[in-house]
Structure 1
Amino acid sequence: MVVYQIWPRSFCDGNGDGIGDIKGIVSKLDYIKSLGATAIWFSPLFKSPQNDYGYDIADYRDIAPEYGTLDEFKELLNIAHSKGLKIIMDLVINHTSDEHQWFLESKKGEDNPYHDYYFWRKGKRNNKKPPNNWLSSFPGPGWEYDEKLEKHYLHLFAVEQP
């Protein structure tokens, strides 16, 4: 298998707005095939607030609108498959965006079925200090305090990526 990785935002702008998109990718499928690629690996294409280049996914069932629509992506899949190209999606499941519906639901309390989708913990010293000294992969602590829930949530990357 020969894999060609595409960073959608900067690959090819198909509609002239200055951002790479699905239309631009479709226009380059023959070129990718001519290089000998048998598969395309897409960096995140999912709907995201783009705090971490799409790795902060807000909806796993939709495409980021700046790249196109879900129907355009389905068309891209069909065209790529007709050319013998397989598709690999960069599926980030370690964390979501803090705008993802699961996280928003988890903030409603311990009785919410989504609460356990994330690591919520009481803190130390009147709950204002993090539960431990874990650090994020990005600079700073790995815990963020939520005033309403009065708990800290774990984020191993950006604060916006619980």
Structure 2
Amino acid sequence: MSSPWWKDAVFYQIYPRSFQDSNGDGVGDLRGIESRLDYLAGLGVDALWISPFFKSPMKDFGYDVADYVSVDPVFGDMGDFRSLLAAAHRRG
């Protein structure tokens, strides 16, 4: 029996706020992450661990989640998340 894929996978954690800003407002966002997927794939990354990007009062930089089903507008919207997810899956 082969071992689960994640036992040998390379994980890369992303803190969205500082990873990549796509719109010039000084805050990283989901579109910024998507724009760097080819770079991450080139590094040999198998999976992403994205720190919280849910709706939050931002008293703890997003870790104080107020709504686990909504994207905080500072990071984009649900359409941006769906686009990021689809783009990541296309890269395997």
Structure 2 length as normaliser, TM-score?
0.89
C-alpha RMSD of the superposition: 0.6
Letter in 2 for 1:42: I
Equivalent position of 2:72 in the other structure:
64
> CA offset at residue 13 of structure 1?
0.3
Q: Secondary structure at the match of 1:60?
A: strand
Equivalent position of 1:41 in the other structure:
49
The counterpart of 1:3, out of the listed 2, 11, 16, is 11
Aligned equivalents of 2:20, 2:80: Cα separation in 1:
15
Equivalent position of 1:54 in the other structure:
62
Q: Secondary structure at the match of 2:48?
A: strand
Aligned equivalents of 2:58, 2:85: Cα separation in 1:
23
> CA offset at residue 53 of structure 1?
1.4
> CA offset at residue 23 of structure 1?
1.1
Query: Which of structure 1's runs of 4+ aligned residues deviate more than 3 A?
Result: none
Structure number with greater Rg is 1
Gap regions ≥5 residues in structure 2:
1-8
Which protein has the bigger helix share? 2
Deviations 1:77-97 (A, max 9, x none): 00000101xxxxxxxxxxxxx
Equivalent position of 2:3 in the other structure:
none
**What fraction of aligned residue pairs are identical, expressed as a percent?**
55
Structure 1 length as normaliser, TM-score?
0.51
